Structure 1
């Protein structure tokens, strides 16, 4: 069968190719660029779900390439307003060019992936049998045919334009100057936002540690000024506010303010970023999909658009693999299966964008003495500081792993926020761990052959049937693998219409003994049963399998 065509070899496109390869799905990655990942001040914050996803698709250096934050603090003037220890679940911070290089190394070691640099897509067509793409490279045209196509080609996506998908939104929500600096700061391992710092000239500055003694420094800028679109030489002169002596003044003022005196430092890179809020009108058009920056843009308040792009890849990869590997029964009925990608991922990102719109007025730096005095008297900044932390840490409504309260069809209906829920919490935090659609926690498990592992490490392949059986960590596996529900559970796994693996865990949050959990390949819970109920588990998975007599139609 034809490979999946992926347009764009950024982190999202490469991660998607690796996730497909984990399911034995070949891909052809068409990259307009040269294949070089130049250093830049762009970085990404990874939570537990995205870190686990990168590790299981083959980026084994994700932990060593990143800095692990020990704490996150917010300051106002000379006062610490909020301190969050980060010892529960790790928060990793790494440079985007390191991530991209690590993914390229993993791709080079994967024979199922064909990576073609300097191939610009200029035309595409699709029908019920697949997608055909024309590229140009060194003046030569070439044609490529694939089963599906995924546009991961960035904010100016050629695929999105060829599909005539609208990309509405706001072009300038937030604007920052960004610099990478080698320096020793007196708060190692701590990420910090400093609102209205005591030195003159800045309303907000932040410092976030990277590996090897590097720091990413940010300054929030007034909107509406012209800026370069690419990283620039920090010592050069260019138009705009983040230029020449202005940038150097910001660096030296911040370092002096934090250290008491100007420490030895080296300015390595700088850029001026304008963050947009955009959401593609569709994530799917027939056999063509959009992911990453081609599908959505957000970054205001520290939100992590790249992390959401990795979640796009995780969500879409298992759907494409399932649509490919399940045996056809007449015409393939993958409408619900593949439409579920758009419903879930577009819904999750749309919720983030709405959260920013609601919270931005509360978190913008105040202007004017009267407003500042009211803020000091009311304590509003201290009250809303946790919201500011959510974007920077990839937690809560601004960045946490979303919950997909899904119908059995795999298409997630819109779920209203629970009344009285704490502002800034994510759906995952509001729903119990056993609610359908939530991301499963990482727990010790035992496989059907007695091998010890973790739950998240088993993701990315077949669906998982997890039996909650107290005592499995105490007794030898040979005593319980053939007892109780296990034989019938193993038999059921082979009878379900989707590929399924059986696991056993000692406990699961919110689940009673002998509960059976059905987990999707991307780690979101599809449903639970109290004991073994084959009819219910079949009903949960049946809409994801091919049905006779239905024809896949290209939408749009």
Structure 2
């Protein structure tokens, strides 16, 4: 089989190649650049707990070594503190990391793969053309090593100006310049060490309507000032004035600081009309742009990757139906569209004058913005896919737990019956397997030799062994809202597919078949071609 062609070597493209490699699928990554990133301290990424965990599972060590997790979140309005949230085990913190460090960490994870042939990163390769047929995709590149590459599928992770999207003829409608921000990265001591701060309507001249301070490692901070949508250019002198006025307002006097990097970023909201054209797909900024009100485009790009990787892996190994491949667009485009809609509906309330803003008190404003920044509510929470085309049909054996169908599962501790190892449930994701999780109180204290052959366990193991896709049995002591002997069927990306009251082999088989989108198409999937 030909590899998957990934166009673009930013975080989304590199993460996709690693996610495919974890499932035994080779890829060729076409990188326009030289294979390394220019350090920019003011260009950072905020990853929600779910996407940070996903990147860490891919082997990216920099999320542990060079990212910052906040101990709290503060919201202020004028001189008054409106809200303070303590972040920690009960309320996980987002991860704040320089984007060049994240990209470098993904490249380093590729470099240490046990099988270096699984991912080939081809630098100085600019896409020039795409041809598709019933068996695969041919990508033509230009540059010093201009050539043609043959792949089973192609994924455009090549950013906002995506060449893949243009070659596919996909429209990219939306709004331009939704928000503008002046940004500075600096070393300084602030009154709230390790806490992030959102300050609305600060009472100091020349600062503007809103400023955000988010800590980075090693005593660094990123400060963002909301700019007027169509204001003047931000000169270096004007930016230094903003920095000094802001720091003086927070600290009483201007503290010593070391300015490391600056920038001005314009945020757009756009959504591609199609995310799949036959064997070609779009992901990340090539498929969507967002970022206003604390929403995070990179977060959504990584969620695209996690959703698409297991579907492409299933197609590569076993073939796939159009239902499975189309479900990527159905699930992810719908989720991102809802995020954009929530942001666009909130913008007039939060940024406009009069109207609803007159009646909505500051606490309401702060709740909306805080949710966007810390990863909660319609602006920030991980998406659910309740109306997915992969949702199993209703069966009498179904029951319910604390997690709605289609939502991400809780990260409970689980035991693998085969070898007795314990881990968090999310640590078992990303291997292309359906997970059948049995809720069995007491197994943590019983000898595994006894419960492996007792109760419903033998029947569950037998049922999972006959599923139409590879599955794995896991056992947990407890799951929110679940009774004993409940069985949860979890997709490879961690979303809950079905819940059964007991072991029901026929219903479990039907649910697994629905999750894979039904039987694969009959077209040939084993044709090979020379790569490169």
With the length of structure 1 as denominator, give the TM-score of the two structures: 0.88
What is the CA–CA distance in structure 1 between the aligned matches of 2:520 and 2:376, rounded to whole Å? 42
The alpha-carbon distance between structure 1 residues 523 and 137, as it changes in their structure 2 partners (threshold 3 A), is same
Partner residue, 2:77? 76
Secondary structure at 1:141 match in 2:
coil
Structure 2 counterpart of 1:222, from 225, 228, 245: 228
Assess if the C-alpha contact under 8 Å between 1:406 and 1:526 holds in 2: no
What is the CA–CA distance in structure 1 between the aligned matches of 2:340 and 2:357, rounded to whole Å? 25
Assess if the C-alpha contact under 8 Å between 1:408 and 1:541 holds in 2: no
What is the CA–CA distance in structure 2 between the aligned matches of 1:547 and 1:51, rounded to whole Å? 33
Partner residue, 2:264? 272
Q: Does 1:528 align with 2:528?
A: no
Question: Map of 1:23-102 to 2, 5 A cutoff?
Answer: 23-40=23-40, 41-87=42-88, 88=90, 89-102=92-105
What is the CA–CA distance in structure 2 between the aligned matches of 1:549 and 1:118, rounded to whole Å? 36
What is the CA–CA distance in structure 2 between the aligned matches of 1:548 and 1:474, rounded to whole Å? 42
Structure 2 counterpart of 1:455, from 425, 438, 441: 425
Assess if the C-alpha contact under 8 Å between 1:172 and 1:276 holds in 2: yes
Assess if the C-alpha contact under 8 Å between 2:47 and 2:298 holds in 1: no
Q: Does 1:442 align with 2:443?
A: no
Partner residue, 1:284? 276
Partner residue, 2:396? none
Partner residue, 1:467? 438
Deviations for 1:169-218, whole angstroms, at most 9, x for unmatched residues?
00111111111111111101111111111211221111010111110000
What is the CA–CA distance in structure 2 between the aligned matches of 1:432 and 1:43, rounded to whole Å? 37
Q: What value does the CA root-mean-square deviation take over the aligned residues?
A: 2.0
Partner residue, 1:128? 134
Q: Does 1:144 align with 2:129?
A: no
What is the CA–CA distance in structure 1 between the aligned matches of 2:103 and 2:521, rounded to whole Å? 43
List alignment gaps of at least 5 residues for structure 1. 226-239, 327-331, 413-430
Q: Does 1:483 align with 2:454?
A: yes
Partner residue, 1:199? 204
Q: Tell me the CA shift for residue 410 of structure 1.
A: 5.1
Partner residue, 1:420? none
Question: Map of 1:99-498 to 2, 5 A cutoff?
Answer: 99-110=102-113, 111=116, 112-138=118-144, 140-201=145-206, 202-225=208-231, 240-326=232-318, 332-364=319-351, 366=353, 378=359, 380-407=361-388, 409=390, 433-448=402-417, 449-461=419-431, 462-498=433-469
With the length of structure 2 as denominator, give the TM-score of the two structures: 0.92
Could you list the runs of 4 or more consecutive aligned residues of structure 1 that deviate by over 4 angstroms after TM superposition? 548-553
The alpha-carbon distance between structure 1 residues 396 and 548, as it changes in their structure 2 partners (threshold 3 A), is closer
Q: Tell me the CA shift for residue 241 of structure 1.
A: 2.7
Assess if the C-alpha contact under 8 Å between 1:335 and 1:552 holds in 2: no
Partner residue, 1:11? 11
Assess if the C-alpha contact under 8 Å between 1:337 and 1:410 holds in 2: no
Secondary structure at 2:305 match in 1:
helix
Paired positions, count: 509
What is the CA–CA distance in structure 1 between the aligned matches of 2:383 and 2:360, rounded to whole Å? 30
The alpha-carbon distance between structure 1 residues 120 and 99, as it changes in their structure 2 partners (threshold 3 A), is same
Assess if the C-alpha contact under 8 Å between 2:349 and 2:357 holds in 1: no
Deviations for 1:223-248, whole angstroms, at most 9, x for unmatched residues?
124xxxxxxxxxxxxxx532120011
What is the CA–CA distance in structure 2 between the aligned matches of 1:321 and 1:206, rounded to whole Å? 40
Assess if the C-alpha contact under 8 Å between 1:434 and 1:511 holds in 2: no
